[in-house]
């Protein structure tokens, strides 16, 4: 892993990229095997929580836009990315002041803190950090 100064520069570079209105967020984490990369559990909480609070910009609204609308458009997902009638109701309810990633290389499956609910296609899939057992997701074309 890089030293602390390199990590700090990478964080600054990431936030500078996300200041661009055309820049979208994604993760290349693949859930295979017993030890996924920590970003499988922490990409969005790290960006929307830890890095946003540390750097103060771009705004939470801009980062949510980059994580939803911009990315959905980039992949041609026309019924996602906005809260709008007729769109898939995929939502995450979180506290922006407590949201933080907790996954590490030693504990890569540690859930983030600060997420109140995850709603997939209008069905509550997780509440207060616990899965509900609902399996409302579907493969996207």
Q: Hey, is 70 helix, strand or coil?
A: helix
d(CA 48, CA 118): 15
Residue 52's pLDDT is 95
Q: What is the pLDDT of residue 140?
A: 84
User: What is the CA 14 to chain-centroid distance, rounded?
Assistant: 14
Q: What pLDDT is stored for residue 101 in this prediction?
A: 96
- Predicted local confidence at residue 54, as pLDDT: 93
pLDDT of residue 34: 74
> Mean pLDDT for each 10-residue chunk of the chain (141 residues)?
88 91 85 81 93 93 96 94 93 96 92 96 93 92 75
In this predicted structure, what is the pLDDT of residue 114? Answer: 96
Q: Sheet of 115-120: strands edge to edge?
A: 91-94, 115-120, 123-127, 130-131
* 3-state class (DSSP) for residue 3: coil
**86-89 — which CB contacts under 8 Å span 24+ positions?**
88/121, 88/122, 89/119, 89/121, 89/122
Residue 80 CB neighbours (<10 A)? 18
Q: What is the pLDDT of residue 28?
A: 77
If DSSP codes are grouped into helix, strand and coil, which group holds residue 135?
coil
Query: Which residues are registered as beta bridge partners of 131?
Result: 126
């Amino acid at each position: 892993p890089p030293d602390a100064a390199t990590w700090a520069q990478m964080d600054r570079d990431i936030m500078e990229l996300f200041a661009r209105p055309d820049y979208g967020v994604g993760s290349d984490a693949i859930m295979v095997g017993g030890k996924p990369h920590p970003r499988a559990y922490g990409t969005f909480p790290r960006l929307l929580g830890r890095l946003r609070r540390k750097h103060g910009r771009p705004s939470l609204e801009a980062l949510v836009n980059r994580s939803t609308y911009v990315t959905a458009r980039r992949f041609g997902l026309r019924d996602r990315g906005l809260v709008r009638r007729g769109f898939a109701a995929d939502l995450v309810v979180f506290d922006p002041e407590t949201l933080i990633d907790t996954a590490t290389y030693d504990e890569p499956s540690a859930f983030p803190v600060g997420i109140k609910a995850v709603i997939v296609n209008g069905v509550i899939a997780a509440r207060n950090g616990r899965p509900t057992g609902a399996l409302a997701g579907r493969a996207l074309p």
